[in-house]
Structure 1
Amino acid sequence: MAIVELHQLTKSYKTNRGIEDISFSIEEGEIFGFIGPNGAGKSTTIRTLLNFIYPTGGSATIFGKDIVKQSKGIRQHIGYLPSEVHYYDDMKVIDLLTYSGRFYKNFKEERMKGLAASLELDVSRKIEDLSFGNRKKVGIVQALLHEPRLIILDEPTSGLDPLMQHHFFDLLHEEQKRGATIFFSSHVLSEVQRMCNRVAIIKEGRLLKVESIESLTKNKVKNVTLLFGSAAPLSIELEGIVSQEAKNQEIKLLYSGDIQALLKKLSTLPVQDVLIEEPSLEEVFMHYYES
């Protein structure tokens, strides 16, 4: 069952680029990645989905409900963490979270305190006394405190130290086990590869690809390392080579062509050793962005 569905969703501005003809769906219970560099249109897509800004074309539904006409009912079941969180500086964390929680019907104070404890967040402090990382923790607790069916995260780990990022990812997996669906928008590709089932790649406001992480990193593009007995040739000419780098006795290739053609080519070269590996999501991502 699709929790989120976008059909040619478009947001146009007079001068700035928005998004154009964005179409994909997110299935119930999955962690879905949304990747692209800053300015690609990730936040615009999310803000349009949440009806913070009005679409100029296309349509979208969440829980089967229209994002514009039924946005009030949708928001009761969504947890949203923006890329930057801003709060009233003179409020205590506990007061802010309690105030936020009372907007939701199924708010439980015990859950709020449990989430804060798991993130090592001191709820007795004032917002103005918190570091950027601790303010982000407040945003995470605020997004999760009402047990939302859909969790939308926009660059969620910025400001968190590596250990706290690990705790945060564990927390998201617990939410997934609870039945929540997670929309994970990030430009940190290693996080997306670690967390997500499928991913959408966006570039300059347009969708490039929607694919499973496994499909993106397997059978499409290969990392090929060639070791020569003496100095490596400056380059290898073969259709399907996306990029190559020669250094001393070694050449590294990013290869997307026919594997038989590659082996035939290698048989003509004085190669001593060959290593063929699956690429990382980052290498696949750069392949799409540079092509």
Structure 2
Amino acid sequence: MTPAIDISALTKRYGRTTALHGVDLAIEPGRVFGVIGPNGAGKTTTMRILLDIIRPTSGTVRVLGEDPREAGPALRRRIGYLPGELAMDTRVSGRALLTHYAQLNGARDRARISALAERLGLDLGRPVRSLSKGNKQKVGLVQAFAHSPDLLVLDEPTSGLDPLVQQEFLAMVREARDAGQTVFLSSHVISEIEQVADEVAVLRDGRIVDVSTVERLRAAALRDVRVTVPAAAGDAFAAELRRLDSAHDVAVAASAEHDIVSARLRDGIPAFLAVLARSTVHDLVVQEPDLERAVLQFYGGDASDASASQAEEVSS
């Protein structure tokens, strides 16, 4: 099966600055592929190369089986693109602007524009200049989805959207996948990637750090555990945990009634269970790892840094 996106040894330099370092990536048709990375990681650069907005320094790119540098408008009509920074004609109404885009993209079903606008709560009759950032983002989303393209390339698609509209957008992504469309999206909201992506690429400093499924990334993340043992038994239990290669940040909180031992586990569940089996345990709490923690591990971060990380990962 020909990949919807096939990138090999992709490099992009701006003078002395290298934005992409030999990136390799293959995305199968009918999949939702998410890319996560902080500001400056190379997400937007990669997407712009796919659309032939900018040209690579070296390497090869195939989009829907074609070279975007040679395929021209015919390929562009098969792609729905939402840039990270929207630039639109603000003098006209949303309906007029979207009708114009539909004509360029060869869309025949104009009723789909109205249907998508209704789903997102967008008033098509208002001039674009009067729209808020969130409503302008809705215009961009309708433009990208309206012609039911084979490939959707969405750069920070939920920027400025309220939570209810974000959920509607995620439903649209799932419907696109179910219809056989391929979705390539970047986001600084990791929970969104977690909800819809089949695969995830972690991008750092212009390099692919890892490509995995959401499930595998989550499984590899550290799990927080909290074990309640009898009073004065905490130190001995903690000492056993510290002997495990999989246990980290082991700590004891003692009280007159019981001791609480906390730790972080990476894999090694059977060994941890063996320690539990040899001990008297009053209570056990295991926190299921989320994708956010798994991704932050690639950057030396911690879940406590999540809010700061998400705030910084705006558009790159």
TM-score by length of 1: 0.89
SS in 1 for 2:10: strand
Kindly report which structure 2 residues correspond to 1:19-58, keeping only aligned pairs within 5 A, or say none: 19-58=20-59
Q: Which amino acid counterpart does residue 177 of structure 1 have in structure 2?
A: D
Q: Which residue of 1 aligns with 2:296?
A: 286
Structure number with the higher helix fraction is 2
Q: Which residue of 1 aligns with 2:85?
A: 84
Q: Which residue of 2 aligns with 1:148?
A: 149
Deviation at 1:247, TM superposition (A): 5.9
Q: Distance in 2 between matches of 1:162 and 1:280?
A: 19
Q: Does 1:126 align with 2:123?
A: no
Contact 2:200 2:214 in 1 (8 A): yes
- Kindly name which structure, 1 or 2, has the bigger radius of gyration based on alpha carbons: 2
- Structure 1 247/241 Cα, relative in aligned 2: closer, same or farther at 3 Å? same
SS in 1 for 2:41: coil
Q: Distance in 2 between matches of 1:48 and 1:19?
A: 11
Kindly report which structure 2 residues correspond to 1:65-84, keeping only aligned pairs within 5 A, or say none: 65-84=66-85
Q: Distance in 2 between matches of 1:203 and 1:269?
A: 43
Deviation at 1:177, TM superposition (A): 2.2
Q: Which residue of 2 aligns with 1:169?
A: 170
Q: Distance in 1 between matches of 2:117 and 2:140?
A: 10
Contact 2:220 2:294 in 1 (8 A): no
Q: Distance in 1 between matches of 2:129 and 2:248?
A: 49
Kindly report which structure 2 residues correspond to 1:216-227, keeping only aligned pairs within 5 A, or say none: 216-218=217-219, 221-227=222-228
The runs of 5 or more residues in structure 1 that have no matched partner are none
Deviation at 1:257, TM superposition (A): 4.5
- Structure 1 47/230 Cα, relative in aligned 2: closer, same or farther at 3 Å? farther
Contact 1:226 1:251 in 2 (8 A): yes
Contact 1:240 1:255 in 2 (8 A): yes
Q: Does 1:258 align with 2:264?
A: no
Kindly report which structure 2 residues correspond to 1:85-104, keeping only aligned pairs within 5 A, or say none: 85-104=86-105
Deviation at 1:160, TM superposition (A): 0.7
Contact 2:170 2:192 in 1 (8 A): no
Deviation at 1:269, TM superposition (A): 7.2
- Structure 1 67/252 Cα, relative in aligned 2: closer, same or farther at 3 Å? farther
SS in 1 for 2:298: helix
Residues 172-203 of structure 1 deviation map (CA, whole Å, 9 limit, x = unaligned): 22222222111121121111110111111111
Q: Which residue of 1 aligns with 2:216?
A: 215
Q: CA RMSD in A?
A: 2.5
Deviation at 1:16, TM superposition (A): 3.6
From 245, 260, 267, the counterpart of 1:239:
245
Q: Does 1:275 align with 2:281?
A: no
Q: Distance in 2 between matches of 1:44 and 1:241?
A: 39
Q: May I ask how many residue pairs the two structures share in their alignment?
A: 291
Q: Which amino acid counterpart does residue 41 of structure 2 have in structure 1?
A: A
SS in 1 for 2:140: helix
Q: Which amino acid counterpart does residue 162 of structure 2 have in structure 1?
A: D
Percent identity over the alignment? Answer: 35
Deviation at 1:258, TM superposition (A): 2.8
TM-score by length of 2: 0.83
Q: Does 1:63 align with 2:64?
A: yes
Residues 74-116 of structure 1 deviation map (CA, whole Å, 9 limit, x = unaligned): 2110001112212122221111111111112233211111111
Q: Does 1:192 align with 2:202?
A: no
